[in-house]
Amino acid sequence: MRGAISKIDPSTRRLVFLVGAQRSGTTWLQLMLAASQHVATVNETHLFSQYLHSQFETWERLKDNIRAIGLAHVMEEAEFLALIRQFCDGVLNRVLAAKPGATVILEKTPDHVRHWRHILKVYPDACFVHVVRDPRAVVASMRAASRSWGGDWAPPGVVENCARWRECVEEGRRIRDATPNTIEVRYEDLKSDCAAALGGVFAWMGIALSSEKCTEIAQRYRIDRLRAGTIDDTPWDLATEPPEFYRRGETDGWKRELTRRQAYLVESMTRDLMDVYRYAPAGRSRNQRAAARLVLAAERLRPAVRSRAKRLVAVLWPKA
């Protein structure tokens, strides 16, 4: 870092973390928010989810070590957090460098939804935008990514992706309970009336934009234009994204991409949260419901079967 590191002051700039389950539309919302001169942002930093994750994990693991191993035995936790804060301030100052006059620093790493506790330890005044999308659409998009550009991180299975969506949404709801500085945005609301939903987020961030300006931004950042790569002046070069990164962005495309049994399986695993976010389940036949129940039962048995198999191997081949 060149030059002195300025402390990120919440009294002058709002620090906003844009989070949610992967493939929920967080990048789309980020780009639209970045169209304002008041918002500074860059592509995903993974600041807390990867760069700092091991530091927090190691602190917790070693803080009660009886041999006095680890940093907890040479400094207080407040000092440790101050050092982490200094590093984070340095990173965020680099984000701000592109728009020094911005009043909002926007960090968008979807997986930070799992790391909100550490974020609030470092930045107690941090704000969160939690994006929620229909789990059937998320599962369909994750499965598509697993077959192409996301093969190294996106699981192909319906059950695994359901579990991921559920974990992320539940963590997002815990953020809402932990701090009042939280707003939830449904992807479907962005699709149905983008300008209105976008204006609501801007207003929540303390940025006053006219409805005409919000409409202009919504039109400029239509998903078909993102797919075509015809948008300039973005925070990073969109041409570096994989060709399949931006899909059609439909709210009901999952109906073509998931079988009826797969769709019902998603609904079976997420029904309570679907009700909360007003996602209507599709009607299913008795045979489809029975098939979904069998799959769920098999998934619940799988860890026990794996554990028993490991114990059997240890007995039969103790040196294996």
CATH number, domain with residue 87:
3.40.50.300
pLDDT value at position 36? Answer: 96
| 304 in a structural domain | no
Convert the pLDDT of each residue in 45-73 to its tens digit: 999 999 999 999 999 999 999 999 999 99
Is 92 a residue whose pLDDT tops 60? yes
| 124 in a structural domain | yes
Q: Whats the size of the chain, residue-wise?
A: 320
| 133 in a structural domain | yes
Domain that holds residue 216: 14-284
Facing residues of 107 across strands?
A: 17
| 59 in a structural domain | yes
pLDDT-derived band of residue 230, with 50, 70 and 90 as boundaries?
confident
In 178-212, which positions are buried (b, 16+ CB within 10 angstroms) versus exposed (e)? ebebbbbbbbbbbbeebbebbbebbebbebebeee
| 186 in a structural domain | yes
- What average pLDDT does the chain have? 90
pLDDT value at position 1? Answer: 42
Please state the rounded mean pLDDT for residues 168-196.
97
Q: What is the pTM of this model?
A: 0.87
| 217 in a structural domain | yes
Convert the pLDDT of each residue in 108-133 to its tens digit: 999 999 999 999 999 999 999 999 99
Please state the rounded mean pLDDT for residues 16-37.
97
**Domains in the chain: how many in total?**
1
- Cβ neighbours of residue 286 closer than 8 Å, sequence gap 6 or more: none
| 297 in a structural domain | no
Facing residues of 130 across strands?
A: 19, 184
| 210 in a structural domain | yes
Residue that wins the pLDDT comparison between 320 and 174: 174
